Amino acid sequence: MLERYWLNFDIAFRAIQVNKLRSLLTALGIIFGVAAVIAMLAIGNGAQQEILEQIKLVGVNNIVITPVVEQKEEKVEEGTQGKPEKKQFSPGLTLADAQSIRSVIPHVARVSPEILLETYIIKNGLRRSAKLVGVEPNYFTLANFELRDGRTFNERQLALGEPVCIIGKGVQTKFFSKENPLGKYIKCGPHWLKIIGILEERAISAGSLAKLGIRDYNMDVYAPLRTVLIRYANRSIVTQAMINQAAQQQQNNNGNDNAESKPKNYHQLDRLVVQMSETEYLTPTSEVISRMLQRRHYGLVDYEISIPELLLKQQQRTKDIFNIVLGAIAGISLLVGGIGIMNIMLASVLERIKEIGLRLSIGAKKTDIVSQFLFESTLISLSGGIIGIVLGVGLAVLIARVADIPTIISPFSIIVSFGVSSLVGLVFGIAPARRAASQDPITSLRYE
């Protein structure tokens, strides 16, 4: 029995060798279909991995509150007594807002207020622009930062606003390439800060920087929140200089009706991150926080509330739909390839009617004819599947290098593609094989 199948396999293999070009053209649909499946799944896996990395960057179960400086100002309508219109007042996003959220709203795991200042770093005559970030220890937990060396801020440093800082790995590489920076001082803006910790390097793709508005954390300097408020800037405090500047600005505006003044940032905080204990509390809590801040800001909505995880899930859903569409296109290519195999095999049956009649007349069974043509169609599809796998892997690597899109080739996609190509050859080879086996030997021998 095995010898009979082996003989049929050998006949099918020789038939493919005789018509190499035709067999290759027949397998083109399978080749491109399998290559498309592998390449698309690689892009989908890379996109999913990028989403997971982005979730790590923005944290999990977070509600992000950011201030809005150029908000639309709602004005009070002019009364019957001809009173002038009044602009609404808001204290802006402040530490008091963070404390209220922490103490009033349930299911809040952590609250992290942040202040971000554009500044510069100077050491040994080398100057570079950088960002000074005023934070509390919760910030490092929320953003999934890990200390490479040193320690985080203690209670005394946080309470008194001592001049200490934690630097990113990029700052260490740039300014302390040949020495250990722990315990040393670095001039950040007008003040010297003592380095007490170094963060682990965080690799961030250009896509993440653009899509999520994430900066290069490796070049940041982190100081206690009160250190930044006391020693650098506290925008919630009204100073004489601010009053003089506002008066001068008002005078200029009165002198020029077309003068437009750029609104000043009056918010004490530049960002406020609230982490919830469970994902299910994100949406309802964001609504409660919005109403709370609206009351605290006297009805002026000068803030924006966003949930990065929901945005990332939406992005993931969009990419899933994109992958499904591409997968469907690849599946259609496989279907077209299978139909091509069936058409060519049907034509092959017509070309080889005399051969079929001769085999039947010398004792071959109909099952031998069926197995011969099934072996031939399956070999064509398997060969196309192997070539398609090589082409798909090459496409995935090329896309990753040229288009700068992350791709991950999984063994699952290769196994599925190879299995589907085998199944396509088997399924679409049945009709030609049965047609060949149904030929009458005498009629076949007389066929011209």
**312 pLDDT more than 70:** no
- Which pLDDT value is given to residue 351? 67
Question: Which of 16-20, 70-74, 214-218, 346-350 shows the lowest per-residue confidence on average (mean pLDDT)?
Answer: 70-74
Q: Of 98 and 439, which is predicted with more confidence? A: 98
Tell if the pTM clears 0.85, that is, is over it: no
- Which pLDDT value is given to residue 80? 47
Arithmetic mean of pLDDT, 370-398: 84
When the pLDDT of each residue in the chain is averaged and rounded to a whole number, the result is 79
Q: Check: CB of residue 202 under 8 Å from CB of residue 218.
A: yes
- Which pLDDT value is given to residue 18? 74
Phi, psi of 165 (to 5 degrees): -155, 160
**221 pLDDT more than 80:** yes
- Which pLDDT value is given to residue 324? 74
* Neighbour-count burial of 316, counting CB atoms closer than 10 A to its CB (0-12 exposed, 13-18 middle, 19+ buried): middle
Q: Check: CB of residue 326 under 8 Å from CB of residue 40.
A: yes
- Report which DSSP code applies to 87: B
Question: Which of 203-212, 264-273, 351-360, 429-438 shows the lowest per-residue confidence on average (mean pLDDT)?
Answer: 203-212
3-state SS assignment for residue 107: coil
Question: Which of 111-115, 131-135, 278-282, 311-315 shows the lowest per-residue confidence on average (mean pLDDT)?
Answer: 311-315
Gap between the Cα atoms of 138 and 190, Å rounded = 27
What are the structure tokens assigned to 235, written together?
Answer: 């925008």
* Among the listed residues 175, 149, 152, 176, the one whose alpha carbon sits nearest the alpha carbon of residue 165: 152
Gap between the Cα atoms of 257 and 259, Å rounded = 6
Q: How far is Cα of residue 343 from the mean position of the Cα atoms in its chain? A: 43
- Which pLDDT value is given to residue 420? 76
- Which pLDDT value is given to residue 74? 47
**73 pLDDT more than 50:** no
Q: Give the helix/strand (H/E) hosting 328.
A: helix 308-351
Q: Give the confidence band of 344 by pLDDT, cuts at 50, 70, 90.
A: confident
Question: Which of 6-10, 154-158, 315-319 shows the lowest per-residue confidence on average (mean pLDDT)?
Answer: 315-319
- Which pLDDT value is given to residue 76? 47
Q: Check: CB of residue 441 under 8 Å from CB of residue 361.
A: yes
Q: Give the confidence band of 438 by pLDDT, cuts at 50, 70, 90.
A: confident
CA atoms within 13 A on the CB side of 150: 23
Question: Which of 99-108, 127-136, 182-191, 336-345 shows the lowest per-residue confidence on average (mean pLDDT)?
Answer: 336-345
Residues 398-434: tens digit of each pLDDT:
888 887 777 888 787 788 777 877 777 777 777 766 7
- Which pLDDT value is given to residue 315? 60
Q: Of 267 and 369, which is predicted with more confidence? A: 267
Sequence-distant (6+) residues with CB within 8 A of 283 are 307, 310
**439 pLDDT more than 70:** no
pLDDT above 90 coverage of the chain, percent: 26
What region, left, alpha or beta, does residue 444 occupy, with left being phi > 0 and alpha being psi -120 to 50 degrees? alpha
**Helix pair 366-402, 308-351: axis angle to 10 deg:** 140
Residues 138-179: tens digit of each pLDDT:
998 888 888 999 999 999 999 999 999 999 998 998 899 888
Arithmetic mean of pLDDT, 99-112: 92
With b meaning 16 or more CB within 10 Å and e meaning fewer, what string describes 34-62?
bbbbbbbbbbbbbbbebeebbbebbbebb
- Which pLDDT value is given to residue 101? 93
**61 pLDDT more than 50:** yes
- Which pLDDT value is given to residue 216? 76
**319 pLDDT more than 90:** no
* Among the listed residues 63, 67, 136, the one whose alpha carbon sits nearest the alpha carbon of residue 105: 63
